[in-house]
């Protein structure tokens, strides 16, 4: 059955080629934005008073991490010397190590602590891990 479906899909491309409906996409190495331009989001983040909040937003912006991964990030997962962050429990259940940008290294270096959570909450009850565990 799977082979039959695959054959049907392949024929769709053959039919579109016969009808000259398809277009070949040219490979483009064009940058979609000018790196010299200011990023409005970055300006807003840099205007944030709280060093911890600013660093958390920079982490999301420069890594693409989901919002649940940032507040649960611990210093054991961060390697400032190797410039990496390792997420051990991603959504798909796999572990992965991500390179991090120099701007993020600078922000993380300014944080006043190096143990426990990278971005500790104002109160213990607010932190996602504690909330899930029932306080």
The per-residue pLDDT for 65 is 87
CA angle 41-47-52, nearest 5°? 95
The per-residue pLDDT for 135 is 47
Query: Is residue 67 domain-resident?
Result: yes
Query: Is residue 94 domain-resident?
Result: yes
CB 11 within 8 A of CB 18: no
Query: Is residue 9 domain-resident?
Result: no
Residues 17, 50: Cα–Cα separation, whole Å: 57
Query: Is residue 52 domain-resident?
Result: yes
CB 119 within 8 A of CB 73: yes
Query: How many domains is the chain built from?
Result: 1
Q: Report H helices in the chain.
A: 2-18, 40-46, 51-63, 102-109, 128-133
Query: Is residue 3 domain-resident?
Result: no
Over its length of 135 residues, how does the chain's per-residue pLDDT go in tens digits?
A: 556 666 665 565 555 555 555 555 555 555 565 656 777 888 888 888 889 999 999 999 888 888 888 999 999 999 999 999 998 877 777 888 999 999 899 999 999 888 899 998 766 555 555 445 444
Domain of 121: which CATH number?
1.10.443.10
Predicted model pTM:
0.63
Query: Is residue 7 domain-resident?
Result: no
Q: Give the domain range for residue 91.
A: 27-133
Q: Give the closest residue to 65 by CA, choosing from 46, 87, 82.
A: 87
Phi, psi (degrees; rounded to nearest 5) at 105: -60, -45
Query: Is residue 17 domain-resident?
Result: no
The per-residue pLDDT for 29 is 53
Query: Is residue 12 domain-resident?
Result: no
The per-residue pLDDT for 109 is 95
């Amino acid at each position: 059955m799977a082979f039959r479906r695959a054959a049907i899909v392949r024929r769709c491309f053959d039919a579109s080629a016969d009808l000259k409906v398809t277009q070949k996409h040219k490979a483009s190495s064009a940058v979609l934005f000018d790196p010299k331009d200011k990023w409005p989001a970055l300006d807003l983040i840099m205007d944030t008073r709280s060093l911890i909040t600013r660093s958390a937003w920079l982490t999301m912006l420069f890594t693409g991490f989901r919002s649940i991964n940032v507040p649960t990030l611990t210093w054991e997962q961060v390697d400032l010397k190797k410039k990496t962050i390792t997420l051990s429990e991603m959504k798909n259940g796999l572990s992965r190590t991500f390179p991090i940008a120099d701007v993020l290294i600078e922000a993380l270096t300014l944080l006043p602590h190096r143990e426990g959570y990278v971005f500790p909450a104002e109160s213990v009850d607010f932190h996602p891990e504690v909330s899930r565990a029932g306080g």
